[in-house]
A and B are shown apart, each in its own frame.
Chain A
Amino acid sequence: MSILEVKHIEKHFGATQVLNDISFTLEEGQAISIIGSSGSGKTTLLRCLNFLEKPDGGSISVRGETLFDAADPKTQLENEIRKKRLHFGLVFQNFNLFPQYTALQNVTLARELLSKERGGETKEEIEAAGRELLAQMGLADRAGHYPHQLSGGQQQRVAIARALALHPDILCFDEPTSALDPELTGEVLRVIRNLAEQKTTMIIVTHEMAFARDVADQVIFMDGGVIVEQGDPHQVIDHPREERTRQFLSHYAEN
Chain B
Amino acid sequence: MFATVIGALNEGFLQTLKLFAVTLIGAIPLGLVVSFGSMSHFTPLRWLTKTVVWIIRGTPLMLQLIIIFYIPGYLLESGSPWPSGESGRFLASAVAFIINYACYFSEIYRGGIQGVPVGQQEAGEVLGMTRSQIFFKVTLLQMIKRIVPPMSNEIITLVKDTSIARIISLQEVIWAGYAFLKSSHGYKGLLWPLFFTGVYYLIFNGALTLLFGWVEKKLSYFR
Q: Compute how far the CA of A94 lies from the CA of B119 in the bound complex, rounded to whole angstroms.
A: 8
A198 on the interface (CB 8 Å rule)?
no
Asked if B125 contacts A110 (CB within 8 A), the reply is no
Once the chains bind, are B119 and A92 in contact (CB under 8 Å)? yes
Contact B130 A82 (CB under 8 A): yes
Q: Which of B19-27, B63-71, B87-95, B135-143 contacts A (4 or more CB under 8 A)?
A: B135-143
Partner of B222, one of A92, A94, A109, A147: A147
Complex interface bits, B205-223 against A, C-beta within 8 A gives 1, otherwise 0:
0000000000000000111
Q: Which residue of A has the minimal Cβ distance to B219? A: A100
A residues in contact with B126, CB < 8 Å: 50-52, 85, 88-90, 163
What residues of B have a CB within 8 angstroms of the CB of A89 in the complex? 126
Known contacts A110-B128, A166-B128: A146-B123 contact under CB 8 Å: no
Report how far A52 CA is from B122 CA in the complex, Å: 7
B4 within 8 A of A: no
B127: chain A residues at CB < 8 Å are: 109-110, 162-163, 166
CB distance from B54 to the nearest CB of A (A): 30
Interchain pairs with CB closer than 8 A, number: 59
Interface secondary structure of B, over-half rule: helix
Q: Which residue of B lies closest to A112 (CB)?
A: B137
A98 engages B128 (CB within 8 Å) = no
CB distance from A237 to the nearest CB of B (A): 29
Specify the chain A residue showing the minimal Cβ separation from B121: A96
A92: B residues at CB distance < 8 A: 119, 122-123
Q: Does B117 contact A (CB under 8 A)?
A: yes
Scan residues 129-148 of chain A and give those whose CB is less than 8 A from a CB of chain B: 146-148
| Residue B120, interface by CB 8 Å | yes
Whether a CB of chain A sits under 8 angstroms from the CB of B133 is yes
Task: Provide the residues of chain B in CB contact with A50, threshold 8 Å.
Answer: 126
**B interface residue numbers (CB < 8 A to A):** 117, 119-120, 122-130, 133, 137-138, 141-142, 145, 221-223
A-B contact pairs, 13 of them (CB 8 A): A51-B126, A52-B122, A82-B130, A85-B126, A85-B128, A90-B126, A92-B122, A96-B119, A96-B123, A98-B123, A109-B127, A110-B129, A147-B223
13 more A-B residue pairs beyond the given contacts A85-B128, A163-B126, with a C-beta to C-beta distance below 8 A: A52-B125, A89-B126, A92-B122, A94-B119, A96-B117, A97-B123, A98-B138, A100-B221, A100-B222, A110-B127, A110-B129, A162-B127, A166-B128
